[in-house]
Chains A and B, each alone.
Chain A
Amino acid sequence: MDTATTDDAPPAPRELGEPLVELRTVNKHFGALHVLQNIELTVHQGEVVVVIGPSGSGKSTLCRAINRLETIDDGEITVDGIPLPEEGKALAHLRADVGMVFQSFNLFSHKTVLDNVTLGPRKVRGLSKSEAESEAMTLLQRVGVDSQAHKMPAQLSGGQQQRVAIARALAMRPKVMLFDEPTSALDPEMVNEVLDVMVSLAREGMTMIVVTHEMGFARKAADRVVFMADGQIVEEAEPDEFFTNPRTDRARDFLSKILTH
Chain B
Amino acid sequence: MGDYLSGLWTVFEEYDVLAAFWVNIQLTFWAGLLALALGTVLAIMRISPIASLRFVGTAYVNILRNTPLTIIMTFMILALVFQLALQLSSNLSDSYFRFAVLGLAVYHASFVCEAIRSGVNTVPLGQAEAARAIGLPFMDSARLIILPQAFRGAIAPLGSVLIALMKNSTVAAAASVTTETASTMKVAIEFNPDYLMEIFGVFAIGWVILVIPVGLLTTWLSERLAVKR
Q: Which residues of chain B have C-beta atoms less than 8 A from A14's C-beta?
A: none
CB-based contact B127/A106 at 8 Å? yes
Verify B129–A88 contact, CB threshold 8 A.
no
Task: Say yes or no: is B140 at the interface (Cβ < 8 Å to chain A).
Answer: yes
Q: When the two chains form their complex, are residues A87 and B130 in contact, meaning their CB atoms are under 8 A apart?
A: no
What chain A residues lie within 8 Å of B133 (beta carbons)?
67, 69, 95, 98-100, 102, 169
Least CB separation from B151: chain A residue: A110
Q: Does A89 contact B (CB under 8 A)?
A: yes
User: Within 8 Å of chain A (Cβ to Cβ): is B164?
Assistant: no
Contacts of B49 on A, CB cut-off 8 Å? 87
Interface pair B229/A109, CB less than 8 Å apart: yes
0 or 1 for each of B119-144: is its CB under 8 Å from A? (1 = yes)? 00000101101111111110010001
Q: B47-61 CB contact bits vs A (8 Å, 1 = yes)?
A: 001000000000000
- How many Å lie between the Cα of A88 and that of B149 in the bound state? 23
CB distance from B147 to the nearest CB of A (A): 10
Known contacts: A119-B144, A152-B228, A154-B229. The answer to whether A109 contacts B134 by CB under 8 A is: no
Q: Is the Cβ of A110 less than 8 Å from the Cβ of B152? A: yes
Instruction: Check B137–A88 contact: CB distance below 8 A.
Output: yes
A195 interfacial by beta-carbon distance below 8 Å: no
Is residue A59 contacting chain B, with contact meaning CB distance below 8 A?
no
Which residues in B have their C-beta under 8 angstroms from that of A165? 130
Q: Which residue of A lies closest to B49 (CB)?
A: A87
User: Closest residue to B148 on the A side, CB-wise?
Assistant: A110
Interface string of A104-141 (1 = CB under 8 A from B): 11111110000000011001100000000000000000
Are A96 and B126 in touch, CB under 8 angstroms? no
- State the interface size on chain A (CB cutoff 8 A): 32
Given contacts A106-B127, A119-B144, are A124 and B136 in contact (CB under 8 A)?
Answer: yes
Given contacts A109-B228, A123-B140, A123-B144, contact A172 B126 (CB under 8 A): no
Contact A93 B135 (CB under 8 A): yes
| B124 contact set on A, CB distance < 8 A | 104, 106
What are the interface flags for A81-103 relative to B under an 8 Å C-beta threshold, 1 for contact and 0 otherwise?
A: 00000011100111111111010
Interface: B64 (CB within 8 A) = no
Most B CB contacts (10 A, CB to CB) among A94, A109, A124 go to A109
Q: Cβ of A102 and Cβ of B130 under 8 Å apart?
A: yes
Q: State whether B130 touches A107 (Cβ < 8 A).
A: yes
Select one of A69, A92, A102 contacting B135, CB under 8 A.
A92
Does the CB pair B145–A108 fall under 8 Å? yes
The residue on B at minimum CB distance from A102 is B126
Most buried by A among B133, B136, B227: B133
Residues in B whose Cβ lies below 8 Å from that of A99 = 133
A153 to chain B, nearest CB (A): 8
0 or 1 for each of B216-229: is its CB under 8 Å from A? (1 = yes): 00000000000111
By a beta-carbon cutoff of 8 Å, the part of chain B in contact with chain A is 49, 124, 126-127, 129-137, 140, 144-145, 148-149, 152, 227-229
Since A69-B129, A109-B227, A152-B228 are in contact, a sample of 20 more A-B pairs with Cβ atoms closer than 8 Å, ordered by chain A residue number, is A69-B132, A69-B133, A92-B135, A92-B137, A93-B135, A96-B135, A97-B135, A100-B130, A100-B133, A104-B124, A104-B126, A110-B149, A110-B227, A119-B134, A119-B144, A120-B134, A120-B136, A123-B136, A124-B134, A169-B134
